[in-house]
Every structure is written in C-alpha cells, then in structure tokens.
C-alpha cells in the first residue's frame, strides 16, 4: 500500500486509560474515603463515587467494544 505525503489520517483519542483511572478513583471515593469515621457528607461522597464508577465504566466498556469490533474487522479482511 502506497503512502502519500499529503494523505491525512483521522486519529481518534482512546479514552480507555483515563476512564479506568476515573473508575478506580470512584471506587476509592466510595469504599475508602466515604467509609472513614467522621467524614462529612459521607452519603454524598458515596453517591459521587458510584456515579463516577457507572459513567466512566460505561465509557470504558464502549472503548473495549470499539476495540473489539476493530479487531474483528481487521481479522475478517
């Protein structure tokens, strides 16, 4: 396959690693910080941690599915 000088390539960012870090942060907030004694607003912190895990876990799942589909597409051709 020839490569041309003026050929532009669309590069889409991969959000898997940042999503994984934010899921881990949500886990830490939910099960470590909010469980400490005398933590103000512990219920709010738990809610924020769970929402962080759900939202960014969904993003992580979407990235994994996108990579899986790309892998299937390259193997079938």
Per-residue pLDDT tens over the stretch 4-42: 666 677 777 888 899 999 999 999 999 999 899 998 999
Length reported for the chain: 77
pLDDT average, residue stretch 46-60: 95
CA-based end-to-end distance of the chain = 15
Look up residue 32 and give its DSSP letter. Answer: I
| Burial class of residue 53 (count of CB atoms within 10 Å of its CB; 0-12, 13-18, 19+) | buried
Residue of 64 and 13 predicted with greater confidence: 64
pTM of the model: 0.75
């Amino acid at each position: 396959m020839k490569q041309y000088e003026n050929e532009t390539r669309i590069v889409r960012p991969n959000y898997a690693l940042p999503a994984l870090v934010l899921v881990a942060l949500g886990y830490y907030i939910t099960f470590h910080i909010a469980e400490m004694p005398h933590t103000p607003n512990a219920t709010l912190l738990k809610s924020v941690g769970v929402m962080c895990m759900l939202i960014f876990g969904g993003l992580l799942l979407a990235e994994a599915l996108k990579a899986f589909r790309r892998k299937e597409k390259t193997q079938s051709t």
